[in-house]
Structure formats: C-alpha cells, structure tokens
Chains A and B, each alone.
With several copies, the nearest count.
Chain A
C-alpha cells in the first residue's frame, strides 16, 4: 500500500511548484509513466485501487501547478468503464485507458436528444477532445462511448480565458450508438452517472484547493519580496490580515475536502456543496492575489492571471455555486 505522503512527494517531484502550467502532452505522458492512470482502478481489474484519498491528493497537486493535463477527466471516465457490466472489450478498454488512451466527458449540462439508440445534440465543455479517442455520453438510462472520429461527430474548440485548459463542444448528428460501446443501461447507468458526478465535483474541488493554496503561497512570497516605503509589503498589517483570512478559508475548505474524500457515505449533493465552497475560496483567493500583487498582477508576465482564470473556470465547471448551494440547502431542509 502506497502512503499518501509518498504519492504527494512523487507528484511534487514530477510536477515541481516552480513550473506552472507545464505543457499538456508532456505532462500526460509523464502521468501515464507515473502509473497514475492505474491508481484508481480496482486491484482485481489490474489497477492499484488506491481510492479517493489518492486521487484527491493527485488532483490537489495538479491544481497546485495549474496542470494542463486532463487527469481527473481520465480517471472519471475510466471509473465508468471499470463499473461497466456490458462493455464488449472491457479489459481492453481498461488496459488502454491505464496506459494513455484518453476518454473525455462533458463538464456542463448536455443538450441532447435520444431516439432509440440514435443521439443528436451537443455535449458542451468537453475537456481536451483533441487528444481523446472517445467521449463518454451519459444520458438518462444510457452510458456509452462515442468515437470522436466518427462522421456523425463534430468537435469544435471554444477558446477560453483560462489558458491552462481546453474545452470543446462535441456535436452529435444522428449518431448511432455502437452496441459494443454501451457502458451501462437503465438503473445501472444512472448509478454510474451519480458516481461520476461525485468524482467530477470532488476532482474540481481538489483542483481548486490546490490552486488556492499555491496562489496564496505565491502571494505571500511576493509580499515578502516586494518593498514599498522602505520595507517589505509583508509587514503591512492590513495585508497580513487579508492573507491570514485567505489561509484560514483555504485550510477550512481543505479540511472539508479530505473529510468528504474519506467519507464513503457522502452524497453528490455534499460533493457539490464542497465544490462550491472550494471554488469560491479559490476564486476569492485569486481576486486577492491580483489585488495584492498590484500592477504586475495585471500583466501576462506574471502568473497571477493564470490562477485567476483557472479559478473562474473551476467555479463554473459542473455547475456554479448558486445551483450547487441551492441543492445543498434543499437537502439540509429535508434533513
């Protein structure tokens, strides 16, 4: 059994903090070489079976360096394949996705219609569709793989403010689902979809916590270095207190992150509320990061904007805070 701290050390060695937003394809290759694409896969399916603690740790670390590689997405779709009871070449799929084949999925609500086994519509906010072989289509009562090179599939990039991620619209025009690529149907599909949503929300929350922690570290470092009025900015109490508040909010959100990651009974509503909290903390941290950096934070020469833009995207992926908190409130009301 690998200790979490070993995994963290390895991640920090492979993706050092001083190289922000490392190139995507090289990162992806490194991720595959490190074995991280096998980390979540159960042992009886050929993986390491380390579970959510381990994946959360990796996502925090990838958030810290503003990783461009879609590790979280890969592990989410792989879990769907692992849970499948119908996929024709399941073992093959698991082998391929463990070694670098990438299957993607949409991070915003889908707008599709299903007519028998023929699908039309657009899957929005699909990460890195350009390097994916398939997109995982999750709709009511059906989960299936859709090959991105099919004639009935169009992939269009939507360039983002966030330069560290790439999102695509995947449009299906009367796409006929290949029976060999059906992952789940009926109740089984809905159960898998719920699990994927939990993973997605937890993954973004972890990314946000990692990003927020790194943003604060960078900000504090800057304030210690930057001098005005003959002293480091770090000595001005108004700025100190703002940093202390950020630290407190980040650590509290981090505590909830790990509590939820370790809780097998946590619901997707709870993961959503965690995601909303973590992303608001990240967003606010980057708002303060830019303000506390002053002018330099408004230039592309400095990395503050990379954090800010990533925080904004995290905030919206898989649902914004308003929607997620509303669901949490409804659940709390029913409790």
Chain B
C-alpha cells in the first residue's frame, strides 16, 4: 500500500505534466478516422515520454512499476484533464503486454515489448462470426507445415470484432490446431504480422457511422512457429491471461467520465426550462446517484484488487453496473433532448460523450454487448457467484 502523501505527490506531478502537455481541441481536430488514429498515436508517444503510458508494466520499464493505487491516481488525472482515452494503444499496452509478461519466451519479450513503446499497434483476432460469447467454438484453422524451409502455421479463417485492426501492425491470434477432445483443447495462440500475405482487413461500418471494429479474412497466412505463445493446443490458457489483463481501471475511468458528463444533462434541463420540474429533477437525481454507485463499485473493485481480495464475478458486477447505467444515462439524455437529437450528428471517434445523445446511446451498446455481453455477465454472476448451477452441456428436447 502507498501512503497518502506519496500518492498526492504523484497526483501533483501528473497534474503539472498534464497542464503542460495535455492536448486541447482534440475532438474537433479528429474529423476522419485516420486523423483520429494519428492523434491517438501522437498522444501515446507523448505519454510514453512523460512516463505515464504504461504505469502497470514492471518497474524495469520507463514509467512502469506503479502500484494499482498509483495507476488509479494517474487515470483519475487523465480523466480530469479530459485527455483522449488511449484507445488505439489499449490492446498493445494491456492485452499484448500482459500476454508477453505472463506467457511469452524471453526472445518474444525482447522483440515485441520495446516496439510497443515505439508505437507498434496490436489488435486481437479472437472472436469469429460463429464464436462470440462462445469463444471456444472458434474455427480458424492452423496447419503446421514446412514452407520455403521454414516451419510455419498456415492459417485460414475469418475473425471479427477486431478493434481498430485497420491500424494494427501485429495481431494476437487464436487458431484451432486440433478438433479432437474438448473445444478449448485444440486452440493455439499465435502472433501474426498484419502485413503478412493473405491478411485482408475490412472495417465494419457501425450504426453510428464509426469504424471501430474490423473483420479479418485470413487466407493461408504463414505464421512462423516461433511466433507461437505457449504450447500448441494450450492457447486457451494464454488467452485467459490476455483477457484478464485489464478491466478495473478502464471502467473506473469511464464511470468518472460519466459523472463529469452529468453537466450535459443539466444543460438540457436548463435549455428545456425544467429547472423546477420535480419529476425531471428526480429522474436526474436518480440517474446521477446510479452513476455515483457505478463509480463506487469500480473504486471498490480496485481496492479489493489492491488487497488481493478480488472474487470471481466481481468484475462482471462492475461491468454490468456500468453498462446498465451508461445506457439509461444516454436514454435520459435522449428523452430530455427530444426531436433535436434525431438529427444526425458528425462522428466523434472513440468518445462516449459526443454531444449527441443518439450517438452516445448507440455507443452504449459497445458496453452492453462487447467485451462479454450483459447476458454473459449475468450468467457468470448467477453461476459462479450465486452458484445457481451452470447451463447444461447437453439437452434432450
């Protein structure tokens, strides 16, 4: 545990650094997705330079070795200064890094980790059109062959929901190397260069006009055997390390940002002249209290992790709380905004508080569906926390 004084010193340091370095007007500057990507890269490199990009990495890395309490302070200050969220480098610094730290060979670590700090972007190739909530059902095949004297996996299949894969240099890829036994047993974890022959990335047009996710078509892509993480057929365990890399701080940061966005609802109330309407005030008060509870549960989750007391299902509760509050928050904004919100607004990339409530409402589904849908979270809570029994494996109808 850190003492309060040293945390406050850190807070002052971050705040001072942000006062000098935080970008301004970034929302307006990002008129295209490419501009957004460029701006994200620049801000990430700036944060690396300042020593605040990878506080969760081990201490031997510059800016690493921060305790969770220190990370929390850094995130709080980043949210407070309304800096761009680090979306493009998120998979790189969390998912990829955590995979390397926990499961990779020394060679892999030495090769890939430094490049992340130089701005190399990673994406994830996990989900498939028929393997979403049921990830282990994935079908992308990898066959081990010798080609041009090199031992490689030849990979063919289709991936989906790869966040910002159109900008990615590298990919964390799950493939099937065997169809024998349990679904999980035949899965292998590979690192794939996105410039490889046979990789075809197609951005998915989202309903709010964004292109945050991509489909990835893999046609006989050759991945060197040395790019495997963990043993062949043991990729499922590696994927768990990847997926468990981060949840708490992101949701804490997002809940804090939602608290800050309460002012946008207040604005609508004033605009509608409802400052003294009891019903409207009560709805506003109730949703802001739920926002406070989303902040409180995220805080507690991190505290429990700090104390090593995280339990199964805790993360699901944090996520489900956030996703439900977020959607209802957007719905209240929509209601108060009225017909004006139905006019199409320009896209604001990667922000949950875009200034247009229809866009925010649509963005809210990214939290109720992606990263483990509300339904999957409910299953986890009911089955593992309340111990109500798993869904059956086999049914006789």
Contact = CB atoms under 8 A, between A and B. Distances in A.
Q: Do A and B come from one complex?
A: yes
Interface of A: 108, 124-125, 158-162, 220, 223-224, 227-232, 234-241, 243-245, 247-248, 251-253, 255-256, 258-259, 270, 273-274, 276-277, 290-291, 294-295, 297-301, 304-305, 308-309, 312-313, 316-317, 320-322, 324-333, 335
A322 B278 contact: yes
Contact of A258 (B296, B334, B375, B388): B296
A255 B285 contact: no
Contacts of B342: 160-162, 312-313, 316
A330 B297 CA distance: 24
B207 A252 contact: no
B369 A295 contact: yes
Contacts of A125: 339
Interface stretch (B65-73, B74-82, B132-140): B132-140
A237 B375 CA distance: 10
Contacts of B300: 255, 258-259
B378 A300 contact: no
Contact of A333 (B269, B378, B382): B269
Contacts of A229: 133-134, 137, 391
Interface stretch (B148-156, B166-174, B286-294): B286-294
Query: Most chain-B Cβ atoms within 10 A of its Cβ — which of A108, A299, A331?
Result: A299
Interface in B361-381: 362, 365-366, 368-370, 373-375, 377-379, 381
Contact of A320 (B137, B317, B335): B335
A245 B317 CA distance: 9
B378 A305 contact: no
Given A160-B342, A231-B395, A255-B297, 7 more contacts: A162-B342, A241-B379, A243-B382, A245-B378, A277-B290, A304-B207, A308-B207
B130 interface: yes
Given A159-B343, A243-B382, A244-B378, A326 B278 contact: yes
Contacts of A259: 292, 295-296, 299-300
A82 B296 CA distance: 31
25 contacts: A108-B339, A159-B343, A220-B387, A223-B388, A224-B388, A229-B137, A234-B388, A238-B378, A244-B385, A247-B385, A248-B320, A248-B321, A252-B294, A256-B297, A259-B296, A259-B299, A298-B369, A299-B205, A305-B207, A325-B283, A325-B285, A326-B281, A328-B284, A328-B289, A331-B285
Contact of A325 (B130, B282, B344): B282
B273 interface: no
B321 A252 contact: yes
Contacts of B132: 228, 294-295
If over half of A's interface residues share one DSSP class (helix, strand or loop), that class is named, otherwise mixed; here it is helix
A291 B369 contact: yes
Contacts of A273: 285-286, 288-289, 292
B289 A244 contact: no
A163 B370 CA distance: 25
Contact of A290 (B281, B343, B365, B397): B365
A247 B282 CA distance: 24
Contacts of A124: 339
Contacts of A270: 292
Given A240-B382, A253-B293, A158 B343 contact: yes
Given A161-B342, A229-B134, A255-B299, A333 B270 contact: yes
Given A160-B343, A243-B388, A312 B293 contact: no
Interface in B232-279: 262-263, 266, 269-270, 275, 278
B158 to A, nearest CB: 14
Interface string B196-221: 00000000111100000100000000
B338 interface: yes
Contacts of A238: 375, 378
Contacts of A234: 388-389
Contacts of B206: 298-300
B32 interface: no
Interface in B282-336: 282-286, 288-290, 292-297, 299-300, 317, 320-321, 324, 334-335
Contacts of B386: 220, 240, 243-244, 247
Contact of A329 (B127, B283, B334, B395): B283
B31 interface: no
A231 to B, nearest CB: 6
Nearest to B356: A161
B134 A298 contact: no
A236 B382 CA distance: 11
B161 interface: yes
Query: Most chain-B Cβ atoms within 10 A of its Cβ — which of A158, A231, A244?
Result: A244
A301 B205 contact: yes
B382 A244 contact: yes
B365 A328 contact: no
A251 B290 CA distance: 12
B344 A160 contact: yes
Given A241-B382, A255-B300, A299 B369 contact: no
A327 B358 contact: no
Nearest to B331: A287
Contacts of A328: 282, 284-286, 288-289
Contacts of B118: none
A299 B344 contact: no
A100 to B, nearest CB: 28
Given A228-B133, A243-B382, A273-B289, A251 B344 contact: no
A321 B317 CA distance: 24
B194 interface: no
B21 interface: no
Interface in B111-139: 127, 130, 132-134, 137
B142 interface: no
B280 interface: yes
B160 interface: yes
A312 B137 contact: no
A316 B338 contact: yes
B378 to A, nearest CB: 4
Nearest to A257: B296
A294 B369 contact: yes
Contacts of A276: 285-286, 289
A18 B240 CA distance: 40
